[in-house]
Amino acid sequence: MKISALLTSAGINIGLCVLFLSLYSVLRKQPANVRVYFGRRIAEENERLRGAFILERFVPSTGWIVKALQCTEEEILAAAGLDAVVFNRILVFSIRIFSLAAVLCVFGILPLNYFGQDIKHVRIPSESLDIFTIGNVEVRSRWLWVHCVALYIISGVACILLYIEYKHIARLRLLHLTSATPNPSHFTVLVRGIPKTAKESCSDVVDDFFTKYHSSSYLFHQVVYKVGKVQKIMTGAKKAYKKFKHFTDETVDQGCRSITYRCCLCGASSNSFKLLNTECEQNRRKPDNESSLNLDDEECTAAFVFFKTRYAALVASEILQTTNPMKWVANLAPEPEDVYWSNLWLPYKQLWVRRIATLLGSIVFMFLFLVPVTFIQGLSQLEQLQQRLPFLRGILKKKYYMTQLGPTSHSERKRSACCKVLYFTIWNIFFVTVLSGTVISQLSVLSSPKDIPIQLARAVPGQATFFITYVLTSGWASLSSELMQLFGLIWNFIRKYVLRMREDTEFVPSFPYHTEVPKVLLFGLLGFTCSVLAPLILPFLLVYFFLGYVVYRNQLLNVYRTRYDTGGLYWPIAHNTVIFSLVLTQVIGLGVFGLKESPVAAGFTIPLIILTLLFNQYCRNRLLPLFRTFPAQDLIDMDREDERSGRIDEIHHRLHSAYCQFPDTEDVPLEKIKIIGGDEEQGCSSGESTGKDTCVDPKMDLSHPTLKGLPVSRLRHAVRSITFLIRLQKRGLSE
């Protein structure tokens, strides 16, 4: 590729970008699209931007850019959480380091590369791009020390900036921890691997254990019920109900009320317990079961245990409870919004097998994926590759996201998917492209690690052209499409004008960290590896990061809603990737200096690698533990402050309703229903009254119209189950 061709390509892409940005600035002002572009604002602030028809709406403007740039970190933190700040810091870090690298390499190294060989230069626009890479520097050149110094400066500054960011985010994480509103997850421990006993119910076992060994700090607990079929039926019913409601808004009330019975499953909050699930319980019932105890087999999987202080919960989560490390496994609970209920009931002893299976599956998939990639590479040109790759990558991301077995929280699931997508992206975009060729030649590279630096050193400068076009097309284009929300826009249009459905106020997407973080980190990797070898990529990359900075800030503030937060746990991933990129750059540099027969430059690169790894080790010792656990000192201080101010009782009270396995379907009206026919326990279960309707009377009116036609045995069983659940929950509350 020649400079002129590159400039043409850049020009076209810049034009497209400007077009999309202008289009966006117009589309966002249309009231019809307000749900697409301001989902978070509407959901959280109930802001409605319905204006009259004015001309201004159709004139492109730059106000949104100014707004995105002006908002402070505190505002992002308040609006989109710590993860958004971390993502923002990744972009800031990239802009800073690549600004320096661009200045250093474009003005320092580019001329050296260009005049590296004593050849006759044609006019610059007709020059091949290869002439700007280190490939053009002649062997044993006395100017290679400049490249080495540039590598030192970039690595050094990158490490300093990384350290500053790491400290900053660690500080924010601690602030997040000690923020004003007490977080119920800090008082809660998720216990798995509860041993089964024949005599006692699971709830009793949990109670006995924690009363005995954590007596001074144990508050109460809440058993997690095995869902699966029940959950499926309930979700199905909810969906059916919603659809139903959408068409006939008036008649539904009566219809739905009749199948929904309230039950105090989750502490003080009232919950709807659907009689529907007795049906599946019926299915699971063994021929000669012991009536009320048959729920126990299913429930003995996990429990949330609540403690009086944050420190007590931390201690319980950190220590080994018993002599069997696979029983009573305690971890700090995820935040209530973040709990991934459908994974909680997985038996703990299966988890490690599932995890290994997932890992093996991912690795196999990664290598199988080589076949289509190399097939495309073998057949066609780079442009085609670029077209196909995103498509294949899309499938893969879904695949990785789907196969997450084990995580107990949404955020952990996303973070795990993020890592897998990252490995995959780096492997397939960087290594496979660089070491392009057949599958066999790649595997043979794999099997001789010694030659990897040399192989990479040969390949990377040559692939610089591809990477520049990749940044221009894939990078810039992905930002435009992110901003435009093309899918959302079209879906919104169809929904509104074709299907004529109501607006769904509930659905606001979360920011897809698991795809966006790897994307930004991949461009960082490209930047580092190409910086010294082929600096021409840096200006294009800088544009990408600047644009990304504006676009992502805008999206985080306006479009996405933050439901759960990892508390900054994406930063260690970013840190490790940057360190990997730096070391890879240095290893490639070592190979290049070796190829260019410059023993001095190669010799000086080795201590740089060691220093970078030492720096990483220092960060692991000094800062990483803060991302794995909480410091006791801060927790104790917070506990004391709460106790001093008397807030602690209120916090304890709120814990009762914090975690709710079967949440209220807000749209379904609740109603007190008499359940007649239960012969186990009579009377109301309201051990405490926290306001509105908390009591369920375990009697059931068999003459109720909905229950007509159901066999009596089935109803009797339903009553038994409900009674048992109520009894269970009463026991949990009273102690």
Task: State the residues that interact with its own copies by CB under 8 A.
Answer: 170, 174, 213, 314-315, 318-326, 352-353, 356, 443, 446-451, 614, 617-618, 621-626, 629-634, 636
What phi, psi does 217 have (nearest 5°)?
-125, -5
Cβ closest to its own copies, residue 248 vs residue 447 = 447
Cβ closest to its own copies, residue 239 vs residue 622 = 622
- In order of 38, 358, 367, 410, 550, the CA distances from 399 in angstroms are 29, 11, 14, 16, 30
Smallest gap from residue 162 Cβ to its own copies (A):
17
Q: Which residue has the tokens 């780096």?
A: 426
Identify which of 595, 548, 316 has the alpha carbon closest to the alpha carbon of residue 451. 595
Count of other CB atoms within 10 angstroms of residue 396: 19
- In order of 571, 701, 721, 727, the CA distances from 697 in angstroms are 51, 11, 13, 12
Helix (H, G, I), strand (E, B), or coil: what is residue 414? helix
Do residues 91 and 161 lie in contact, with contact meaning Cβ atoms separated by under 8 Å?
Answer: no
The token pair that represents 231 in the structure block: 């959950």
Smallest gap from residue 168 Cβ to its own copies (A):
13
Smallest gap from residue 308 Cβ to its own copies (A):
14
Smallest gap from residue 556 Cβ to its own copies (A):
27
Q: Which residue has the tokens 């109930």?
A: 46
Cβ closest to its own copies, residue 233 vs residue 624 = 624
Per DSSP bridges, beta strands 188-192 and 329-332 are antiparallel
Smallest gap from residue 618 Cβ to its own copies (A):
7
Number of helices and strands in the chain (H, E):
31, 6
The token pair that represents 281 in the structure block: 């319980």
Cβ closest to its own copies, residue 267 vs residue 572 = 572
Cβ closest to its own copies, residue 197 vs residue 235 = 197
Identify which of 189, 173, 180 has the alpha carbon closest to the alpha carbon of residue 89. 173
Cβ closest to its own copies, residue 622 vs residue 653 = 622
Count of other CB atoms within 10 angstroms of residue 529: 27
Cβ closest to its own copies, residue 455 vs residue 686 = 455
Cβ closest to its own copies, residue 353 vs residue 379 = 353
Smallest gap from residue 641 Cβ to its own copies (A):
14
393 class by beta-carbon count within 10 Å (0-12 exposed, 13-18 middle, 19+ buried):
buried
Q: Which residue has the tokens 């940044």?
A: 471
Cβ closest to its own copies, residue 7 vs residue 446 = 446
Smallest gap from residue 6 Cβ to its own copies (A):
38
Identify which of 295, 293, 291, 256 has the alpha carbon closest to the alpha carbon of residue 276. 256
The token pair that represents 32 in the structure block: 């019809």
State the DSSP string of 118-160.
------GGGSBGGGGSGGGSPTT-TTHHHHHHHHHHHHHHHHH
Smallest gap from residue 186 Cβ to its own copies (A):
14
Cβ closest to its own copies, residue 105 vs residue 189 = 189
Smallest gap from residue 708 Cβ to its own copies (A):
53
Smallest gap from residue 351 Cβ to its own copies (A):
9
Helix (H, G, I), strand (E, B), or coil: what is residue 303? strand
Cβ closest to its own copies, residue 368 vs residue 498 = 368
d(CA 27, CA 21): 10
Smallest gap from residue 454 Cβ to its own copies (A):
12
